[in-house]
A and B are shown apart, each in its own frame.
Chain A
């Protein structure tokens, strides 16, 4: 039909088309040869941007000999059609789609697959673009052809082409892989739902039929035949469809995705997050006939089994595409779940899984033989896919059902098989320790995830369930083997060099995850594993003592290091911000052990704490306690103490009705009491706490320069202790804690702690003040803690020769140390200690300003000063009384002014590029701190606990912050706004200010105002969506303030908003007019995310209302520029309906904003397409 179309054209047109084709071919060639690529790209771009290039594109597709030219032509059709879709005739739309479909069918045997794929994806995109407008009959017409093709009635090539078109279509309709096409999310969502409801199952049936039909021929053939290609494509598409995120009516009640409603309540959302690898397939009851009752799964498994026999034939092997797709599909079927199975208490699902397992078990059994075969060169993919299948099954069943599955086929359960598999994998890992990832690494990770999946379910279902006895002993064996392999790895790596160490550091997160999985396995068999750990630990300690002075302990140290990490994970969970409880398995297993000296957990913990205590002896420390071992000790103590040391449930209650409490807490049973009360406050708790504090002090003092160790001590161990209220009140009564505080103020060696640790230690000590009995005591404690620091700073700042000595390295070190400490204390602000901390800051206000001047070239100190003030104000501001507020505000302003006068207009240069960029980064950090300071001041207006309003002392926060902004903004250059964090802080502060206090803008002078508004315009064109959004909010606030104020007969933004002619007759537009122009240009001509349209609308509406005449002028300007009459009238109507349709009124209320958002969206869809290109 198209040929005829060309014939009917004149010769002139023909020549024109030929010329275009030649130009495009030339451009394609020159891109490939890399001669003048810019010009070539321009030629290609001009094709896709020209109006209605379809005829030329179709001509090229059908006639060009150059595949690249055809590829480009297809792309041009897509670009042009998506852009012009709004004003294409329905006939043209359909014509383009059928052209593409015909093209792929006609050229199905073409060797240039990529052109076909491109055309197929163009067809899919156009079909989606028109999806909601086409009638059902129109869609049927398209799909009829496709169905014919997929069924194979036009030969294998066409069949393959049909399947790959469906592949493009499904991925185009799936939200994660769709093309945006400039349409809102609702559109994509509606398309997704419609395809899922009306077509998905049909597609599946077509390809299922296709695969079924070719499979016999494949099995019968002795070499690779063309059917193989079709079959693997079909299997791929089935997999893709099963991967679809089904959400329609079928599983509507299943709104929490990833949750298996089949075992209602058994699983929790957070488990499934871990199992990222395993996507649940939940297509709902409508799919039961196709997937379950049709025998489809049986066919698939048989097909694969038959395929396995052929791996010796030419063209087939374990990793050939067909085998890979088939296995993937089988694994996917293992995670089938949800309402597709009837509610028959899981019977049908069990049958299904049993069928799957029977097929899969051949891939992985017997584990030792499989592993041996892989070691002698067989591909590992079957084993890995088998492991993945087990993992999927573990995800969709309960541990008990999972274990039972295999029992109907074998004398043992699935968990035993799982354990045997994992043991083989661990053995292989022990034999070959290599750097690169081997099959056993991958298999170990998958199997560990499977264990985690199973055991987490047990965990979530309470301690009534546990593994069957056989499963427990399987877990115990496995854990013993795991520990053996870890210890062997440790001693083997003990002498490795530092490079390896760095490598391990990098993978520490991965290791942590692995250790938590090990811990789950250990806890499943607590009865065996804790005594095992205890035994291994004692053995190592004995070995250390025996070999003391005679043999090198390094290997044993490294083993102890591993053992401590493993034990820590087994005994306690990471709190993640909450107080962790004693793990349920440990709690329930020892529920009848009442004698403390026979409680394995107490015995194990006790022996580790006694070992740790040995580090206090200087001689033993020198022999055994290397920095690395000490790191593990401190880490263990931190983790252990947050669970077991004076747990909150136990303290308090036992003063009053401990008996009562005991009775009501029957569930917790005796065990917790034996365990908990042993380390509780009335028994050994205090003694253990004392040991821990003494160990901390000794690590801080005796390991100079060991940053990692100090970090663990300060930030994890001590920080963790003061987070617990029940510990703090005992802490402050201990001599060892007082020793720590004294050492902190006096010990010279503690001045050499790393800055961050210095700060953290100060904070920790200050926080502990809340453990004091009275608030006077707390304030007194803070005072004595800080007085040495404040007086040292005051004294230093008042020295006459400060200028001379300030820049001496030792003085700089001292000042920075003290400031870090003050900052730490400032961050510990609490209502109870607020007075003392305010005093502290008040005393150093003047010194801070003096130092800011003295160290104006010492960026490190400047930054510290600013950060201290920022943190101090942050902690204090809401509690301050009016008078104090006035003092703080005054101080902050002086600080800002001083900083500004030191830095404005300064040009620093450096010979080295890296130093220069370093200097920029420092400036950026300073400014960020200053902006934070302003935001902190701002918060006084929102939350204020002062007894009288701050205005009593003449403080006006908004005024202050604007003045601050006025000082700071000149320092913020456009270059600095390229730092994303600074940019965010700046614009969030600015938009907050404009939203809350728009009236202040009117009071600013022209210069200040234009700088602020200049940055706003800059932000409007920023790449970061959030920044643009902030600016739009600021604009909305400005314009709506002006509009409402004017409505009330007030000045609004005053002179800034009015347009005027200056003395030279030059016209100056008011700011709102400028922004209207700028915003409209942005919305119409620039690229932005569709998410911004609604906030754009919210800013545009008040702007239009303020500046109606400017809006009319702009609209006329744009309309005048249109030469095409149709476009011109469309544009006129669009501009008109933007401000009139949906009953838009001229008020600024919620309803009106909503209407305008809709108007703007349809306006943009209507006109953006042609405005941007024509």
Chain B
């Protein structure tokens, strides 16, 4: 299939690409979209028409995945939208420094020290308490369009 080859070829430099074009009509609820330069998760899609005999357009409501702010956009459904490349990476937590930064162990054995503790109180206390109790914790880091944030936590300690 020709178009798949097209997909596969583009992957060589995909890591570098922050966003991908995608037809507005194919973006679904729970997918991602860039609105006003921010990566968002789509929480609502509705379609309407420009006049009775005009073309369809999509109305998106998105939530900024880093700030939680609500953003909206309207795009003709046959046009392309930018879709952000959102990745999640798991790291083992090795230290929490006094100034609010964490030290994480990467797959290659290096450490990653440029991430702050999350601001969410629930997650923050879980991390701090869990770490204090000496549990083995794995944190998920969500990154997109040059930003990163800790978004989930898992206890992989001995059962």
Contacts and interface: CB of A to CB of B under 8 A. Distances in A.
Interface of A: 493-498, 501-502, 554, 557-558, 626-629, 704-708, 745-746, 748, 751-755, 788, 792, 801, 804-805, 807-811, 813-814, 857, 859-860, 905-912, 914-915, 918, 922
Interface stretch (B17-25, B92-100, B108-116): B17-25
Interface of B: 1-4, 7, 10-11, 14-15, 17, 19-20, 22-26, 28, 30-32, 41, 43, 47-56, 58, 63, 65-70, 76-79, 83-88, 118-120, 122-123, 126, 140, 151-155
Given A707-B25, A809-B84, A857-B88, A628 B49 contact: yes
Contacts of A907: 122-123, 126, 152-154
Contact of B87 (A493, A807, A905): A807
B11 A801 contact: yes
- Lowest 9 A-B CB distances belong to which pairs? A705-B77, A911-B68, A705-B25, A626-B53, A912-B68, A705-B78, A809-B83, A704-B78, A857-B88
A705 B24 contact: yes
Nearest to A817: B26
B28 A860 contact: yes
Given A915-B43, A915-B63, A495 B51 contact: yes
B51 A497 contact: yes
A755 B28 CA distance: 8
B9 to A, nearest CB: 11
Given A807-B86, A907-B154, A706 B56 contact: yes
Contacts of B52: 493-496, 501, 554, 558, 626, 628
17 contacts: A554-B51, A627-B54, A705-B58, A707-B56, A752-B23, A754-B25, A808-B11, A808-B85, A906-B152, A907-B122, A907-B126, A908-B140, A908-B152, A909-B120, A911-B67, A912-B63, A912-B69
A706 B154 contact: no
Contact of A805 (B11, B49, B67): B11
B43 A810 contact: no
Contacts of A502: 48
A809 B32 contact: yes
Contacts of B118: 909
B64 to A, nearest CB: 8
Contact of A752 (B26, B63, B68): B26
A627 B25 contact: no
Contacts of B15: 804
B55 A809 contact: no
A814 B4 contact: yes
Contacts of A493: 52
A650 to B, nearest CB: 38
A748 B49 contact: no
A704 B23 contact: yes
A859 B3 contact: no
A628 B51 CA distance: 10
A1052 B123 CA distance: 46
B30 A627 contact: no
A704 B22 contact: no
Choose among A557, A813, A859 the residue with the greatest number of B CB atoms under 10 Å from its CB. A813
A910 B151 contact: yes
B10 A810 contact: yes
A627 B55 contact: yes
A814 B25 contact: no
A745 B26 CA distance: 18
A49 to B, nearest CB: 42
Contacts of A494: 52-53
B63 to A, nearest CB: 5
Contacts of A810: 7, 10, 20, 22
Given A705-B78, A706-B25, A857-B88, 10 more contacts: A557-B53, A626-B53, A705-B23, A705-B56, A705-B76, A748-B3, A805-B14, A807-B85, A809-B19, A918-B43
Contact of A808 (B1, B14, B154, B155): B14
A915 B68 contact: yes
- Secondary structure of the B contact surface, majority rule: mixed
A922 B78 contact: no
B155 A905 contact: yes
Contacts of B85: 807-809
Contacts of B32: 809
A788 B1 contact: yes
A909 B56 contact: no
B114 to A, nearest CB: 20
Contacts of B87: 807
A987 to B, nearest CB: 27
Contacts of A914: 43, 63, 70
B66 to A, nearest CB: 8
A745 B25 CA distance: 20
A753 B151 CA distance: 32
B128 to A, nearest CB: 13
Contacts of B56: 627, 705-708
B20 A860 contact: no
Contacts of B23: 704-705, 752
Given A748-B3, A907-B123, A807 B54 contact: no
Contact of A751 (B3, B83, B153): B3
Nearest to A747: B3
A792 B24 CA distance: 24
Choose among B26, B87, B118 the residue with the greatest number of A CB atoms under 10 Å from its CB. B26
Choose among A708, A859, A911 the residue with the greatest number of B CB atoms under 10 Å from its CB. A911
Contacts of B10: 810
Contact of B26 (A557, A629, A813, A915): A813
A857 B140 CA distance: 9
B146 to A, nearest CB: 15
B1 A908 contact: no
A363 B17 CA distance: 77
Choose among A498, A704, A804, A918 the residue with the greatest number of B CB atoms under 10 Å from its CB. A704
Contacts of B126: 907
Nearest to A500: B52
A814 B26 CA distance: 11
B83 A754 contact: no
Nearest to A922: B30
A703 B119 CA distance: 46
Contacts of B154: 905-907
A957 B139 CA distance: 38
Contacts of B66: 911
A629 B32 CA distance: 32
Contacts of B69: 912
A511 to B, nearest CB: 15
A1141 to B, nearest CB: 54
A712 to B, nearest CB: 13
B11 A809 contact: no
Contacts of B26: 751-754, 813
A627 B47 CA distance: 13
Contacts of A860: 28, 30-31
Contact of A627 (B11, B41, B53, B119): B53
A626 B56 CA distance: 11
A628 B53 CA distance: 6
B2 to A, nearest CB: 7
A746 B120 contact: no
A908 B151 contact: yes
A808 B11 CA distance: 8
A683 B10 CA distance: 52
A495 B53 CA distance: 9
B2 A808 contact: no
A706 B77 contact: yes
Nearest to B154: A906
A909 B30 contact: no
Contacts of A910: 68, 120, 151
Contacts of A745: 1
Nearest to A917: B43
Contacts of A558: 52-53
Given A501-B49, A807-B85, A911-B67, A918 B30 contact: yes
B95 to A, nearest CB: 20
A13 to B, nearest CB: 61
